[in-house]
Amino acid sequence: MPVAGLPATTAAPALSREHLLLLYRWMVTIRAIDEKMLMMQRQGRIAFFGPSAGQEAAIVGSGSVARKGDWIFPALREGGILLMRGFPIARYFGQMFGNVLDTQKGRQMPMHFSSGEHKFVSLSSPIATQLPQAVGAAWASKIRREDVVTFGYIGDGGTSENDFHSAMNFAAVGKVPCLIICQNNQWAISVPFSSQTASDGVAIKAAAYGMPGIRVDGNDVLACYQATQAAFERARAGHGPTLIELVTYRRGGHSSSDDPTRYRDESKVPPWLLVDPISRFRDWLVAGRHLTDASDAAMRAEIKNTIDDAVKEAEPAATVAVDTLFTDVYGSPPATLLAQRAEVIGDGSGKAEGAFPL
Ligand SMILES: Cc1ncc(C[n+]2csc(CCOP(=O)(O)OP(=O)(O)O)c2C)c(N)n1
Ligand SMILES: [Mg+2]
């Protein structure tokens, strides 16, 4: 969908071979982590997990545009972007175990990755609430005249929430440097996109708020990259936000807790949506002589080893000290909290003196 202010092109972006292979490597890595986590969840080693299989082109194509200093406000399925920003994979798994490797000291649900150092804010479980936060952060960087673009992610289901509309309005009126990126994976748990809105997709909603909206083949990593890059340049140049709809398909369940065969029939999905974005990009790379069966196999083996090593490091890491229940909120804790702490921690031996079973 060509949009004023954004280039309409069908040509692949001119990226170096190294860059193309890096995009591919991250797509394969994210899928491999997905498969590992699903297995670990089924084995009872982690409690909960939200897969991103099928959405790797959307995640990598859009997220790879962000620079080190740009902020990411993710929804549920963009954790891979944190890894692309240099976050260690062992700490990523540490978040799933909620142990000492977790930046949040086990205080969040699994999948709520976060790192201030990597400018990646923990998703909020109530959907869409991260978008007004993203717009606010972008507004702050505009006031401070910083060269920062904020990436705010949302799912198709999230677009039915008030927060999506508040964020869109505020972003456009304030002309803030924010990208509002909707991964339209066709489902919000068991609610199909057709029940979510009567409009022709998500991107069209941008017009009512006064910003460009672009609808992209979200299973084409290069198209995702290109559209995001154009919107990014636009934001950086002071022309304000863009709504980007990445049309993709959630191949797995909503989370490890559901069974999609109970509510959807894959035979009714248009075949182009079911094309695996990884094999599609792989075929393109092979045709362009950037990749061979052998180099692909070597890359995959290396990725598997890296992930296995990360799990070996993360799984046995120590649990978070009980004392951390009382830290990081108050500079000077109130007497009531200190009393509770004394009751739980006791004399420092780690043994509880009070009624709290540890
Ligand atoms: C405010 C709110 N309402 C309901 C839920 C329960 N819930 C969790 S995820 C989800 C669906 C989200 O769908 P979508 O935005 O399309 O993202 P996806 O899971 O497909 O990535 C819902 C309804 C919630 N977390 N927050
Ligand atoms: Mg969805």
The yes-or-no verdict on residue 297 having pLDDT over 90 is yes
Q: ∠ CA(226), CA(229), CA(185), 5° rounding?
A: 65
The yes-or-no verdict on residue 348 having pLDDT over 80 is no
What's the pTM? 0.93
Q: Is the CB of 157 under 6 A from ligand 1?
A: yes
Atom of ligand 1 nearest to the CA of 158: 15
Atom 11 of ligand 1, nearest CA residue:
188
Atom of ligand 1 nearest to the CA of 129: 1
Instruction: Say what the pLDDT of residue 349 is.
Output: 55
Query: Which of 81, 127, 195 for a ligand 1 pocket mutation test, highest count of atoms within 8 Å of Cβ?
Result: 127
The yes-or-no verdict on residue 115 having pLDDT over 90 is yes
Instruction: Say what the pLDDT of residue 8 is.
Output: 54
Instruction: Say what the pLDDT of residue 12 is.
Output: 87
- What separation in Å is there between the alpha carbon of 159 and the centre of ligand 2? 9
**Sorting pLDDT into bands at 50, 70 and 90, what band is 228?**
very high
Q: Which of 23, 63, 39, 22 is nearest to 252 (CA)?
A: 39
Mean pLDDT of all residues in 299-312: 98
Residue limits of CATH 3.40.50.970 in the chain: 17-257+266-314
Mean pLDDT of all residues in 171-175: 98
Tell whether domain 17-257+266-314 is in CATH 3.40.50.970.
yes
To the nearest whole number, what is the mean pLDDT of the chain? Answer: 93
Mean pLDDT of all residues in 176-201: 97
Higher confidence at residue 268 or residue 155?
155
Environment class of 317 (CB within 10 Å of its CB; exposed 0-12, middle 13-18, buried 19+): middle
Q: Which of 167, 217, 239 is nearest to 230 (CA)?
A: 239
- What separation in Å is there between the alpha carbon of 188 and the centre of ligand 1? 6
Instruction: Say what the pLDDT of residue 2 is.
Output: 44
Q: Is the CB of 192 under 6 A from ligand 1?
A: no
10-62 tens-digit pLDDT: 688 899 999 999 999 999 999 999 999 999 999 999 999 999 999 999 999 99
Atom of ligand 1 nearest to the CA of 189: 11
Atom 17 of ligand 1, nearest CA residue:
155
- What separation in Å is there between the alpha carbon of 129 and the centre of ligand 1? 11
Atom 8 of ligand 1, nearest CA residue:
127
- What separation in Å is there between the alpha carbon of 247 and the centre of ligand 1? 17
Residues with a known catalytic role: 250, 254, 263
